[in-house]
Amino acid sequence: MRKNYWMMAAILFCGLSMVSCGNKNVKEQPKEAQVETVQVERVVSDAELCNAAVDNYLVNVIGKNYAEAKYCIPCPIIISTDDGNKEDVLVWGDFWVFNYDIAGDTLKCVSGGDHPGLMHLKKTDNGFEVSGFDAVEDGAGNRESAKRIFGDNFDAFEELNGNAEKREDIRLHTTADYVKKHQLPVTMLQDFGWPAVELPK
């Protein structure tokens, strides 16, 4: 009886040892965090592509007619668009362009001007391009041509065209965006004969 008792005790001890060792062996080791990199391709909207086409036209077609400077910054003030026909997207606006050189921390305006009218854009394999521009006439025919070109958008155009403060605010913000995007080392803008003004942060 005593012999059986010791045998049972020995078996029980070994069993407990095996269970204990087993627990140590199956203890989960910390897993290294797996980081999955997912690249998301940014989809560029038609509106952004149209804006890029307008900017490109202002810089490379209209801007070339002014006295040259290091930087040509477009400032289109869009009044209305009609993108119902991708072969003839209509963009009405008061289209400004300015050429600048840099002196110290200031963009110095060398040349530029205003070109209100209607741009026609068409879809291409690379986005959009300006296929035509109906410009408002200078001089005596200015108002009548503006009415004809802007149509239902004429009142909005006239209100904007007569608000120099609003136009200048748009120009400053557009220029500030350009400066940030192209990392230009400037904080001020100055027109000839005028004091320099600080660009919006």
Distance CA 66, CA 14 (A): 97
Res 31: pLDDT = 59
Condensed to tens digits (0 to 9), the pLDDT of residues 51-96 reads 999 999 999 999 999 999 999 999 999 999 999 999 999 999 999 9
Give Cα separations from 64 to 56, 74, 93, 155, 186 (angstroms): 11, 12, 19, 30, 23
Res 8: pLDDT = 44
Distance of CA 7 to the CA centre of its chain: 83
Does 109 score more than 60 pLDDT? yes
In this prediction, what percent of the chain has a pLDDT beyond 70? Answer: 79
Res 34: pLDDT = 64
